[in-house]
Amino acid sequence: MPQPITAHASLDGSVPPGTATVAALRPLPLGQTGPPGLTRSEIENIHDLLAPLSYLDGELAVEGIPVSRLWDGSGSLLLYLADRAVDNYRSIHQAFAPHFDVSINCAIKACYVSGVLSALLEAGAGVEVASELEWRMAHRLGVNPGQIVVNGMFRSPEHARRLISQETHLLDIDSDEELERLEFAARQLGMRPQVLVRVNPLPADAFFSDRSKLGLSPDDAYRLLERAAGSAHLEARGLHAHQLSRCADPALFGRLAERMGELRAEFSAATGAPLDTLDLGGGIETRYLLERAGHTIGDFAAAAQEALGDQPGLHLLLEPGRYVFGDAAIGLTSVLGTKRRAGQDWLITHIGCNLLPPTSDRAYPPLPIRPTGETWSRFHVADPTPAPSRLHLDATLPGDAAQHGLALIGCGAYTAVRASLWSTDLPDIAVLRGGRKTVIFDRAGQDAAVKTLFGIDLDGI
């Protein structure tokens, strides 16, 4: 018997805690992962769950604009909601700022769309980058080096030198070898970069298991921090942890914060070297899902305050990705057709898993564009690709939903960044900001990418 999976499958396709690996290799029963599907009443009152969306005069509206004015109903459109991303960022800042000297550095690996990132930067957010490619993006967007936290393993010597000479705010170190390389580059440049040491403060779980390449055990991190603090070429500022994924449990976040506080206090007491920064990483659940589960980001701030409130001189850093970007895009899609199989009704959508990676059975809840009075029933939603993937199982929708198309929510994080030119057309992509829609990607853009990557010119076909 496969063990039932009740938590979310994680982004990398690994399985949640407590799930036997072998079970993941067998087909799972339908509809076994992810949060419960939205009820009809949750859908009809979607505004309560996801403020930019509402039903006006029998039609879905985005920020008060009827969908029919944003999308012509053909093909599909991934629509980013820049103002929602900003609101999500502000909600974190407003929750933590009363308790902490805090910086919010959004993890851009979840979303590279410049219209969304520039809105966040204008609102005061910093960024977290995980590679040289991402650093180049942040640089081109004009992010001030003082607002960049750099993670990721093993930078090239040229990249390390550039980061150091630009006085990038904080560089993360994840091994002795990285420390030595950074020291070498710093000595050559006669500069002293500010560094954090990456630690896994919580017991291993399935996401960051004992076999994960990332982070160090608290003992190893302590040793590495001693090396960094004793180095003439590095300035050890503190500890970095990113060990949560889709966390909707403030108590777990509180335990992470508490453990980080203990490590900081132990280190400072033993060595007399003050560490001013604790970076608690990202890993907080998509905002609307967190709130649906009965929590707010304020509960996370309160848990951190309880764990760390008595620590003087502390600068807190947070690196949210999914929380900021997850519900800041919707996928508007036509339905290509319907299929009945094994007693279940399937809606086959234009938008595909080449944009929306199937991370759980309920990753992208569909809303009807027109919530008609028709009888509502259960549908599975999937794309037409030759993969047994699905976008959402067990959705409650009006019987005639296929005629009007669907709006999939939760499409903002880890989607376009991982888009591939595989199997089926990508949707158009647009950013909505301040009521104005700007298209950033369309069929011509897709065909240009096909030509560049594969050498096939689709022009005129």
Ligand X SMILES: *Cc1c(COP(=O)(O)O)cnc(C)c1O
Question: What residues make contact with ligand X under the rule CB under 6 A?
Answer: 107, 109-110, 128, 130, 151, 242, 245, 281-284, 319-323, 413
Residue that is written with structure tokens 């319907």 in the block = 338
Please identify, using beta-carbon distances, which residue of 109 and 433 lies nearer to ligand X: 109
CB of 138 to ligand X, least distance (A): 14
Contact 250, 323 (CB under 8 A): no
Residue type, 323: Y
Shortest distance, position 220 Cβ to ligand X, whole Å? 17
Helix runs in 309-356, H state only: 322-325
Residue among 110, 41, 104 at smallest CA distance from 297: 104
The residue written with tokens 């907080």 in the block is 284
**CB 15, min distance to ligand X, A:** 17
CB distance 419 to 428 below 8 Å:
no
**149 or 369, CB closer to ligand X?**
149
Beta strands in 202-272 (DSSP E): 235-240
* CB closer to ligand X, 222 vs 323: 323
Shortest approach of ligand X to residue 317 CB, angstroms? 10
Which of 67/256 has CB closer to ligand X? Answer: 256
Nearest distance in Å: CB 215, ligand X: 9
- For ligand X, which is the closer residue by CB, 43 or 256? 256
Residue among 175, 182, 176 at smallest CA distance from 159: 182
Residue with smaller CB distance to ligand X, 135 or 323: 323
By DSSP bridging, strand 65-66 and strand 59-62 are: antiparallel
Closest distance of CB 151 from ligand X, Å:
4
Q: Closest approach of Cβ 208 to ligand X, in Å? A: 10
Counted residue by residue, the chain has a size of: 461
Q: How far is the CB of 19 from ligand X (least distance, A)?
A: 19
Sheet architecture: strand order including 329-333: 366-368, 406-408, 329-333, 76-81, 428-433, 436-441
Tell me the C-alpha distance between 64 and 56, whole Å: 8
- Sign of the dihedral through C-alpha 432, 92, 296, 263: positive
Contact present, 193 and 235 (Cβ < 8 Å): yes
Q: Which is nearer to ligand X, 282 or 371 (CB)?
A: 282
Q: Give 111 or 401: the residue with its C-beta nearer to ligand X.
A: 111
Task: Quote the least distance from Cβ 243 to ligand X, whole Å.
Answer: 9
- Residue 196 Cα to chain centre, angstroms: 22
Complex with ligand X: residue 10 or 349, whichever CB lies closer? 10
The owner of tokens 């003439």 is 232
Closer CB to ligand X, 300 or 323, in the complex = 323
> What residue number has its CB nearest to ligand X?
321
Nearer to ligand X, 19 or 105 (CB): 105
* CA 161 – CA 166 distance, rounded (Å): 8
Nearest to 316 by CA among 263, 247, 261: 261
Hey, what are 48's tokens?
A: 């309560």
Q: Number of helices (H) and strands (E) in the chain: give both, helices first.
A: 15, 21
Report how far residue 428's alpha carbon sits from residue 331's, in angstroms, rounded to the nearest whole number.
Answer: 10
Three-state SS sequence of 267-307: HHHHHCCCCCEEECCCCECCHHHHHHCCCCHHHHHHHHHHH
Shortest Å, Cβ 409 to ligand X: 17
Least distance (Å) between residue 186 CB and ligand X: 22
